[in-house]
Amino acid sequence: MKKKEAAALIKGRAFDKLKDTLTHMLPADIAALSEDCGTKELTIIFRLLPTDLAAETFAYMSSGRQKTLINALSDKELKAVLRELFLDDTVDIIEEMPANVVSRIIKAADPAKRRQINELLSYAEDSAGSVMTTEFVYLDKNNTVEDALKRIKAVGLAKETVYTCYVTDRRQLIGSVSLLDMVVCDKDKMISDIMDTPVVSVSVSEDRETVANIFTRHGFAALPVTDSENRIVGIITFDDIMDVIREENAEDISMMSAVVPGEESYLKTSSLKHAKSRIVWLLVLMLSATVTGAVTSRFEAQIAAMPLLVAFMPMLTDTGGNCGSQSSAMVIRAMASEEIGNKDFFRVMGKEFSVALICGVILCAVNFIRIIIMYKNILMAATVTVALMCTIILSKLLGGVLPMLARRMKLDPAVMSGPLITTIVDSCSVLIYFTAAVRILKI
Amino acid sequence: MKKKEAAALIKGRAFDKLKDTLTHMLPADIAALSEDCGTKELTIIFRLLPTDLAAETFAYMSSGRQKTLINALSDKELKAVLRELFLDDTVDIIEEMPANVVSRIIKAADPAKRRQINELLSYAEDSAGSVMTTEFVYLDKNNTVEDALKRIKAVGLAKETVYTCYVTDRRQLIGSVSLLDMVVCDKDKMISDIMDTPVVSVSVSEDRETVANIFTRHGFAALPVTDSENRIVGIITFDDIMDVIREENAEDISMMSAVVPGEESYLKTSSLKHAKSRIVWLLVLMLSATVTGAVTSRFEAQIAAMPLLVAFMPMLTDTGGNCGSQSSAMVIRAMASEEIGNKDFFRVMGKEFSVALICGVILCAVNFIRIIIMYKNILMAATVTVALMCTIILSKLLGGVLPMLARRMKLDPAVMSGPLITTIVDSCSVLIYFTAAVRILKI
């Protein structure tokens, strides 16, 4: 592995050999290597790289490292890197930087690039506009294939951005043509003869999660982004979408586990920062759980009379929480992939209700038998069974419905997942349980 | 939207117009349309499509629809579809079919394809071999660019599979060359002059999640797959990896919510099947929760003497569960992206311990004050605080460590997530709580 070799060379300060090793490594790997070394070594490594590799590597670094580097580089060096950096990467970097670093970057960019940067920065976070790049090739429908290929050569862009080229007619997007089709056909054909129609496009303001769904649905390599008048203003490529899918997924998993989503890595994030992203929900949920405590307090007389009642509480609340988590996870996932929308509200309710009935009957039967065997107390078994059945139905319904309501209220559905639903279901199930106990056990 | 239009045409049986509309739609959209119509309409739609579009559409259908169609098509029609279908798609389809349908497909394929299918089917599920396609172009390092382009034209493959071509020397993989580089350079240059080295490759037996991590890490469009002697045997393209990422995400979210992962959609899956994928974990967790119940039973005397004790149980077990879920989710995510491995066991423990201390101090302080205000009982507050602090530390440590232990035991780390950890922590926290109560409150 080249990475270990390079690390040894840094340690041994064998810079000539290091330069040779680095130029044979991939940018993402050099970036990973640079994460583990000091500021001085970082600057040395970076200065050893040829400018294009340096720029690519820079794009792969964590924002912490990028900040350190920008502060260490001279204006001239920074300019050279920015010239090689892709526009969308530049914007991604700027979005993570403090104001003083941003102004240095903007100052170092040439006027045309500066204008484009400002334009891209103005798109809402999580919109298609914020993911797209404005560096792409568009072809006129009246071009010949030969003209088109010449144009592609002249523009000299990255691979990802020319696998699919977009065809315009008076700036309107009318079709797409793949590089492969241009390569394999007669060079004097017209672009309009070989282009594919219809072309799928998204609006600049489209949510990036929706864009990701379109990519995976059709397996596209790129997707054009249009303004309100169907003029192409940028393109989104598959590599950026892979990042979006990863980020959205990490965000969902965080939210579903009551963690405020962050972008940093696990090991590199300080304990304080980890605690910060976890404490808010822990506090909210802990205080909400006192409602369940208050409900329990109302039944102190019953508990004192029959302490055995308490033995079934953990089973009851855990099962309720698990049922709710299952339902909400399935519904959140289906909503994220756009399989279910607002209109499916009652279908989801129906589905969850019947799943709850099936699961409920099985769980209640097993539990009933267990209590009869262990405690030989039919009334106790009946009490727990009634409470368990109600809890399962309630938690599955809430698990299915609350994420959908959250979306209607313009919240992320993932807010309404396991932890919150568990807390909500808890107080209800305890209330049902003790009420059933009062009625059935007559205490 | 074309989809609504087509649906109306099916209803009105206007097949001429339908054919015209369908041929202007994208395969994934036609497949989506076909999901909602009867078997008869499905066959009609399919027969209206030109063979290449029919094959592409077929690949996008759900396995239920595919099965219906295969049963409805004649041998001749099936052969025509299979001829147009990509090899990796064919294999994906076969994997979901019952034995009788599989044998029909295998019979309809020509001998060469049949051999390739059998080869691909032999790779382990979730391995790189099972995701790759064996339809790709490899170039010899001694080819000129002109020869190479001719070869690409002659092979006539899909776009995704030729964006990057792989260069071999006596069957050994030695480099890669992008279609763009071939298009923009002089046609009489040698492939060996313009190829990129080193080339990253994966072994056929590599886990597909690791492959997906390599794709997202480097932003690759394709990745070559090699056998044990570094001979290229197939390639994996970005579109298949996007599906892998989605599937792995869905799997993680399911497992983390105690649902047995399945591939079907939410609405189309029957309630019975939903219940089946949920009931196993519910039963296991419900029965495990009886341990907590048994622990509680041991303290019936204390509960009878002081029923107020019960009021803090939900808060305690919920907070423990939430702390554990947070930690396990963060660790599972970091393990999935390969940021942390087995060697980081003690770093994770250290991190979780210090996060637990920070969160614990805050939560305990808030809780202590709340109990003092509400119940004016310092000893009670002290008991709950001691139990809460121990629970938080324990649950964060278990949440961090159990997913790592699961992986060492060759289990999916996602097994050790919220629901199971909650159940484990529950019994411990109840035990700690009542023990503290006995000691501090002297009951």
Cα–Cα distance for residue pair A378/B268, rounded to 1 Å: 40
Residue B1 clears pLDDT 60, i.e. is over it: no
Model confidence band, residue A89 (pLDDT cutoffs 50, 70, 90)? confident
Q: Which of B319, B303, B294 is nearest to B395 (CA)?
A: B319
Q: pLDDT by residue (tens digit) across A375-400?
A: 898 999 999 999 999 999 999 999 99
Q: What is the mean pLDDT of residues A418-423?
A: 85
Mean pLDDT lowest for which of A245-254, B96-105, B331-340? B96-105
C-alpha distance from B63 to closest chain A C-alpha (Å):
16
Preceding omega of B198 cis (within 30 degrees of 0)? yes
| Domain residue limits, chain A | 2-122, 138-242, 271-440
Residues 6+ apart with CB under 8 A from B102: B94
Q: What is the mean pLDDT of residues A158-172?
A: 81
Yes or no, beta carbons of A296 and B287 under 8 Å apart? no
C-alpha distance from B188 to closest chain A C-alpha (Å):
16
Yes or no, beta carbons of B313 and A313 under 8 Å apart? yes
Closest Cβ–Cβ partner in B162, B243, B330 for A216:
B243
Q: What is the pLDDT of residue A38?
A: 79
Sign of the CA dihedral B413, B417, B420, B426? positive
Q: pLDDT by residue (tens digit) across B105-119?
A: 888 888 878 888 877
Closest Cβ–Cβ partner in A296, A344, A359 for B279:
A359
Q: Residue A106, Cβ neighbours under 10 Å: how many?
A: 16
Closest Cβ–Cβ partner in B162, B265, B300 for A339:
B265
Q: Which 8-state DSSP code applies to residue B144? A: B
Backbone angles phi, psi at A107, to 5 degrees: -65, -35
Q: pLDDT by residue (tens digit) across A118-141?
A: 777 878 888 888 888 888 888 888
- Strand, coil or helix: A303: helix
Cα–Cα distance for residue pair B29/A177, rounded to 1 Å: 20
C-alpha pair distances (Å), A346 with each of A334, A343, A406, A409, A410: 15, 8, 15, 17, 19
Q: What is the mean pLDDT of residues A212-233?
A: 88
Q: What is the pLDDT of residue B372?
A: 93
Q: Which of B257, B366, B368, B375 to mutate to test the interface with A (most CBs of A within 10 A)?
A: B257
- The packing angle between helices A418-440 and A378-408, to 10°, is 150
- Strand, coil or helix: B175: strand
What is the H or E stretch that residue A298 is in?
Answer: none
Model confidence band, residue A372 (pLDDT cutoffs 50, 70, 90)? very high
In whole angstroms, how large is the CA radius of gyration of chain A? 29
Yes or no, beta carbons of B314 and A152 under 8 Å apart? no
C-alpha pair distances (Å), A363 with each of A177, A357, A366, B318: 57, 10, 5, 22
Q: Which of B271, B377, B392, B433 to mutate to test the interface with A (most CBs of A within 10 A)?
A: B271
Provide the CATH number for the domain formed by B138-247 in this structure: 3.10.580.10
Considering all CA atoms of chain B, what is the largest pairwise distance in Å, rounded to the nearest integer?
94
Residue A305 clears pLDDT 80, i.e. is over it: yes
Q: What is the pLDDT of residue B345?
A: 92
Query: How many residues are given for chain A?
Result: 443
Cα–Cα distance for residue pair B384/A117, rounded to 1 Å: 55
| CATH fourth-level superfamily of B2-122 | MgtE N-terminal domain-like (1.25.60.10)
| B249 vs A contacts (CB less than 8 Å) | 245, 249
Mean pLDDT lowest for which of A101-105, A372-376, B302-306? A101-105
Percent of residues, chain A, with pLDDT higher than 70:
98
Residue A365 clears pLDDT 70, i.e. is over it: yes
Q: pLDDT by residue (tens digit) across B400-424?
A: 999 999 888 888 888 788 788 888 8
Q: Which of B23, A134, B165, B342 is nearest to B334 (CA)?
A: B342
Q: Tell me whether strands A164-169 and B232-237 are parallel, antiparallel or unpaired.
A: unpaired
Closest Cβ–Cβ partner in B159, B216, B329 for A243:
B216
C-alpha distance from B312 to closest chain A C-alpha (Å):
6
Q: In what order do the strands lie in the sheet with B222-226?
A: B202-203, B222-226, B232-237
Mean pLDDT score of chain A = 86
Q: What is the pLDDT of residue A156?
A: 66
| B387 vs A contacts (CB less than 8 Å) | none
- Strand, coil or helix: A281: helix
- Gap between the terminal Cα atoms of chain B: 72
Q: Could you please report the per-residue DSSP string of A7-27?
A: HHHHHHT-HHHHHHHHHTS-H
Give the tokens for residue A332.
């959140």
Q: Residue B354, Cβ neighbours under 10 Å: how many?
A: 16
C-alpha distance from B412 to closest chain A C-alpha (Å):
16
Q: What is the mean pLDDT of residues A68-89?
A: 83
| B308 vs A contacts (CB less than 8 Å) | 297, 300
Q: pLDDT by residue (tens digit) across B280-312?
A: 888 888 888 888 888 888 888 888 888 888 889
Which of these CATH numbers, 3.40.50.300, 1.10.357.20, 3.40.50.1370, 3.60.15.10, describes A271-440?
1.10.357.20
Model confidence band, residue A373 (pLDDT cutoffs 50, 70, 90)? very high
Number of C-alpha atoms within 13 angstroms, CB side, residue B384?
29
Percent of residues, chain B, with pLDDT higher than 70:
98
Q: What is the pLDDT of residue B264?
A: 67
Helix-, strand-, coil-residue percentages of chain A, each rounded to 5: 70, 10, 20
Report yes or no: A388 and A364 within 8 Å, Cβ to Cβ.
yes
Residue A160 clears pLDDT 70, i.e. is over it: no
| A219 vs B contacts (CB less than 8 Å) | 28, 160, 239, 242
Q: pLDDT by residue (tens digit) across A20-46?
A: 888 888 888 888 888 877 788 888 888
Cα–Cα distance for residue pair A233/A129, rounded to 1 Å: 9
Which stretches of B266-377 are DSSP H helices?
271-297, 300-305, 313-336, 345-375
Task: Write down the residue that tokens 């294999």 correspond to.
Answer: B91
Q: What is the pLDDT of residue A263?
A: 65
Following CA atoms A214, A215, A220, A223 in sequence, which dihedral angle do they give, to the nearest 10 degrees?
A: 70
Pick the more confident residue, A172 or B12. A172
What chain B residue is nearest to A59 in terms of C-alpha separation?
Answer: B218
Q: Which of A190, A249, A29 is nearest to B242 (CA)?
A: A249
Q: What is the mean pLDDT of residues B39-63?
A: 84
Q: What is the pLDDT of residue A159?
A: 62
Model confidence band, residue A266 (pLDDT cutoffs 50, 70, 90)? confident
Cα–Cα distance for residue pair B312/A37, rounded to 1 Å: 48
Q: Which 8-state DSSP code applies to residue B342? A: G
Cα–Cα distance for residue pair B379/B376, rounded to 1 Å: 9
Cα–Cα distance for residue pair A56/A34, rounded to 1 Å: 13
Residue B394 clears pLDDT 90, i.e. is over it: yes
Q: In what order do the strands lie in the sheet with A202-203?
A: A202-203, A222-226, A232-237
CATH class name, domain A138-242: alpha beta
Cα–Cα distance for residue pair A317/B289, rounded to 1 Å: 10
Give the tokens for residue B335.
């393990």
Backbone angles phi, psi at A232, to 5 degrees: -75, 125
Residue type (1 letter), A82: L
B66 burial via Cβ count (<10 Å: 0-12, 13-18, 19+): buried
Model confidence band, residue B389 (pLDDT cutoffs 50, 70, 90)? very high
Q: Which of A238, A319, A351 to mutate to test the interface with B (most CBs of B within 10 A)?
A: A238
Q: What is the pLDDT of residue B432?
A: 93
Yes or no, beta carbons of A200 and B26 under 8 Å apart? yes
Q: Which of A209, A240, A217 is nearest to A413 (CA)?
A: A209
Provide the CATH number for the domain formed by B271-441 in this structure: 1.10.357.20
Q: Could you please report the per-residue DSSP string of B366-389?
A: HHHHHHHHHH--HHHHHHHHHHHH
Model confidence band, residue B157 (pLDDT cutoffs 50, 70, 90)? low
User: Which residues partner with A232 through β-bridges?
Assistant: A226
Pick the more confident residue, A373 or B6. A373
| A26 vs B contacts (CB less than 8 Å) | 198, 200, 218
Residue A2 clears pLDDT 80, i.e. is over it: no
Residue type (1 letter), A55: A
What chain A residue is nearest to B371 in terms of C-alpha separation?
Answer: A290
Give the tokens for residue A320.
């309720």
Model confidence band, residue A369 (pLDDT cutoffs 50, 70, 90)? very high
Yes or no, beta carbons of A297 and B274 under 8 Å apart? no
Q: What is the mean pLDDT of residues A50-79?
A: 85
Give the tokens for residue A334.
């289906």
Residue A58 clears pLDDT 60, i.e. is over it: yes
Closest Cβ–Cβ partner in A259, A267, A290 for B339:
A267
pTM of the complete model: 0.80
- The packing angle between helices A271-297 and A418-440, to 10°, is 20
Report yes or no: B214 and B232 within 8 Å, Cβ to Cβ.
no
What chain B residue is nearest to A61 in terms of C-alpha separation?
Answer: B217
Q: Could you please report the per-residue DSSP string of B198-251?
A: S---EETTSBHHHHHHHHHHHT-SEEEEE-TTSBEEEEEEHHHHHHHHHHHHHH
Backbone angles phi, psi at A49, to 5 degrees: -80, 145
Q: What is the pLDDT of residue B392?
A: 95
Backbone angles phi, psi at B337, to 5 degrees: -90, 10
